Amino acid sequence: MDGTTQAQRTITQHHQPLTLEARLHRALVLARKVRSIVHFFDRHRSLLRSREHGGVARKTLVQAKVRLASATKQIRRLRHAMWLRRLRVLQAASPKEAICQVFQGHCQEAVDVAWCESRLQTTAENGQYLGLFQMGSLARQLFGHGATAHAQAIAAHKYFVYSGRDWSPWSCKPGY
């Protein structure tokens, strides 16, 4: 054995840092509970004016509003952190993964077009045509462009949707 007792292992197991999702869930549950306290006092204003219970009611309401503001701020920070984490994953995705994440139901068609246009190279160039989908300067101006496969797939998807969800803007078509 490694010298640790069962109790030490159990304590270590239970004190693992919470994931962003678990922390967000806790913050959402707290916000819901605290919001219900605020709503309770909104519906029972007479308690706040009561001689007998007013002091405690007002103190409870103030504490609830402070906790709600704190929980709301924490929820915003956690959602932002989760968004950033997802963005980092998307930006690091291979061209095929990025295309499929963006085009979803048209994944294979989009991969076929990008393969034909650029051999799935984000740095592909042919005159004014750049990137995975070899979009021209006007198309890039209208729909965007970027250095990552994800950014280029988003721009191409916008163009794809704009063109009626067909591949007419591209010289390569699915199945080539």
pTM over 0.75: no
The H-assigned helical ranges of the chain are: 6-14, 20-43, 45-49, 54-92, 95-103, 107-118, 137-143, 149-162
Segments making up each domain of the chain, as ranges: 18-92, 95-162
Nearest to 100 by CA among 132, 139, 130, 126: 132
H or E element in which residue 130 lies:
strand 129-130
- pLDDT tens for 12-57 read 556 678 999 999 999 999 999 999 999 999 999 999 999 999 999 9
Check whether 6 has a pLDDT greater than 90.
Answer: no
- pLDDT tens for 97-130 read 999 999 999 999 999 999 999 999 999 999 999 9
Structure tokens at 76: 């915003």
Q: What is the DSSP letter of 104?
A: G
Q: What is the mean pLDDT of residues 126-152?
A: 96
CB-based contact 172:113 (threshold 8 Å):
yes
Q: CATH assignment of 95-162?
A: 1.10.530
- pLDDT tens for 46-100 read 999 999 999 999 999 999 999 999 999 999 999 999 999 988 887 788 999 999 9
